[in-house]
Structure 1
Amino acid sequence: MDESSRAALRASRAMLGIVARSVAPALEQVTLPQFRVLVLLETAGPMRVGALAERLGVVVSTFSRSLDRLEAGGWLERSPSEDSRRGVLITITDAGSRLVREVSAQRTRELAAVLDRVATEDRAVLTRAFESFADEAGEPTLRDLLVLGI
């Protein structure tokens, strides 16, 4: 493994640590799979149960129990779908949105704190390196991001 690969691997472990620490408080209230549901609803907006299950790669019949628990906890709401008499629309509640935003804000604060400790002259180089890396790696799929609740 070359020096660049070692440095990237080390940085990715540090980033994963930030991700894990930022989501940990939320996991005292919901499970990681449930948090993934909330992240998807927060980013994509309300959707029908079948579409939500498909986006998450889960089976609707087993997924319903998880939705029941999220609804009972006040994290999401179900309502009749306007375009289908049998369809059910799932919408994140204010509490669910707040939980997702708190995780994102904590992650942003921790990243900013790390970047603030980087020498000023290195920050511009680091920013260009992050941008270049992100461009070359490409945008992760929603499914990839949801695995970690990002």
Structure 2
Amino acid sequence: MTSSHSHPRPDEVAHVASEAAELLEVLWGRASTAPVSASQIRVLFVLEHTDGINLRMLAEALGSTPPSTSRLCDRLQAVGFVERGPSASSRRELRLRLSRRGRSFLAGLRGRREAALRSVLEQMPVTKRTALLEGLEAFCAAASAEVHEGDEASGVRSA
């Protein structure tokens, strides 16, 4: 898509956004995520926004099964990023929380990712960065609304 499109179609924008997401994955791949995998990072992101979620709801949020989600959480608990505790409503149910160490890991990861982005953004003209910022703010608002609609439909509650 070129800047000559004054009214880009959603499918054109989706194609470019998909390309941008793939490039972000490459850029961010350079920012170490050790000792966790991409799937485990997704777990940490969900836990950050839904503190005290149970395993079944976490699996639903990830589009996964409870057994595989439990294995992801086992590994995250082993490195100290996730804590499991009893539910206030049911002694048989466990609630999952992001630990202080997990929060610190995510803050560091975001810092490394933002540094990689900053390097690219510094190469862009100011007017294009401004347009990108405005577009991304609108995109984040729309995506957040859609994610929260999906959460409400599946019963996932944000913290």
**Alpha-carbon distance in structure 1 between the residues aligned to 2:41 and 2:128:** 35
**Paired letter, 2:97:** T
**Quick one: structure 1 residues 123 and 76, their matched pair in 2 at CA, closer, same or farther if it must change by over 3 Å?**
closer
RMSD of equivalent CA atoms: 3.0
Question: Once the 2 structures are TM-superposed, how far is the Cα of residue 90 of structure 1 from its aligned partner?
Answer: 0.7
- Report the counterpart of residue 25 of structure 1 in structure 2: 32
- Report the counterpart of residue 73 of structure 1 in structure 2: 79
Q: Which runs of 5+ in 1 are unaligned?
A: 144-150
**Alpha-carbon distance in structure 1 between the residues aligned to 2:78 and 2:128:** 48
Q: Which runs of 5+ in 2 are unaligned?
A: 151-159
- Report the counterpart of residue 154 of structure 2 in structure 1: none
Question: Once the 2 structures are TM-superposed, how far is the Cα of residue 18 of structure 1 from its aligned partner?
Answer: 2.8
Percent identity of the aligned residues?
29
> Do 2:27 and 2:116's aligned partners in 1 also have CA atoms closer than 8 Å?
no
- Report the counterpart of residue 107 of structure 1 in structure 2: 113
Question: Once the 2 structures are TM-superposed, how far is the Cα of residue 43 of structure 1 from its aligned partner?
Answer: 2.2
**Paired letter, 2:118:** A
Question: Once the 2 structures are TM-superposed, how far is the Cα of residue 38 of structure 1 from its aligned partner?
Answer: 0.8
Of 53-62 and 75-84, more deviation after overlay is shown by 53-62
Q: What is the aligned length?
A: 139
CA deviation vs aligned residue, 1:18-55 (integer Å, no higher than 9, x gap): 334325511x3112211111111112222111211121
Which of the pair is proportionally richer in helix? 1
- Report the counterpart of residue 41 of structure 2 in structure 1: 35
CA deviation vs aligned residue, 1:82-108 (integer Å, no higher than 9, x gap): 111111011111221122222222222
Higher relative contact order (CA 8 A, sep 6+): 1
Aligned with 1:87 (options 85, 93, 98): 93
**Alpha-carbon distance in structure 2 between the residues aligned to 1:68 and 1:86:** 17
**Paired letter, 2:65:** V
Residue 69 of structure 2 corresponds to residue 44 of structure 1 = no
> Do 1:78 and 1:88's aligned partners in 2 also have CA atoms closer than 8 Å?
yes
Question: Once the 2 structures are TM-superposed, how far is the Cα of residue 129 of structure 1 from its aligned partner?
Answer: 4.8
